[in-house]
């Protein structure tokens, strides 16, 4: 395991063997990061986030409470996860919101998926296995396994194989992925 001297990693976080955490990243208490992950510069991983093995998280990514990221996921630079669909700093009476005033929702990213640079993921969604999310997309709803989504809001425009290539036929000749 490697943790850069400027990274801030809670003693209450669990970090797997072979994982590298680079400069100015912050890993909060209760976070669980698997083996052989790369947490790049200036990444924020909130409390109790779960990250599988062999995950690559690029620079300036924010992953908030209740996110689950499975094995082999790629998260491009500047991706932002959200965890509350009705965020407010204060309650209706003007008092500052505390933890008990929030209504966080889980975001689940399944095995092998890739999230393009500058994408935003709204809370309460599930991204299926081996999904490809185009750069700059705003994902507001669930994405099926092998789905290819792009845009704002993101929309399904096709399917990809495990190689990441758009499936034009029913099966990829290279990896044998079949259309769902």
| Tokens standing for residue 93 | 């009476």
| Positive or negative: CA dihedral 132, 166, 143, 157 | positive
CB 52 within 8 A of CB 35: no
CB 47 within 8 A of CB 28: yes
Cα 121 to Cα 106: distance, rounded to the nearest angstrom:
11
Catalytic residues: 78
List, in sequence order, every beta strand (DSSP E) within 19-111: 20-21, 26-27, 32-33, 38-39, 44-45, 50-51, 56-57, 62-63, 67-69, 74-75, 80-81, 107-109
């Amino acid at each position: 395991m490697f943790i850069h001297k400027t990274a801030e990693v809670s003693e209450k976080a669990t970090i797997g063997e072979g994982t590298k955490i680079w400069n100015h990243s912050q890993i909060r208490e209760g976070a669980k990061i698997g083996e052989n992950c790369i947490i790049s510069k200036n990444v924020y991983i909130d409390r109790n986030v779960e990250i599988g093995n062999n995950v690559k998280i690029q620079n300036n990514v924010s992953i908030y409470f209740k996110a689950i990221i499975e094995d082999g996921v790629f998260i491009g630079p500047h991706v932002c996860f959200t965890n509350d669909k009705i965020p407010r700093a204060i309650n209706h009476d003007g008092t500052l919101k505390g933890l008990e005033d929030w209504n966080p929702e889980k975001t689940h990213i399944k095995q092998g998926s890739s999230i393009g640079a500058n994408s935003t993921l709204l809370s309460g969604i599930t991204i299926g296995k081996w999904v490809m999310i185009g750069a700059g997309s705003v994902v507001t709803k669930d994405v099926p396994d092998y789905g290819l989504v792009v845009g704002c809001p993101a929309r399904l425009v096709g399917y990809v194989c495990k190689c990441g290539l758009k499936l034009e036929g029913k099966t990829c000749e290279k990896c044998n992925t079949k259309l769902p």
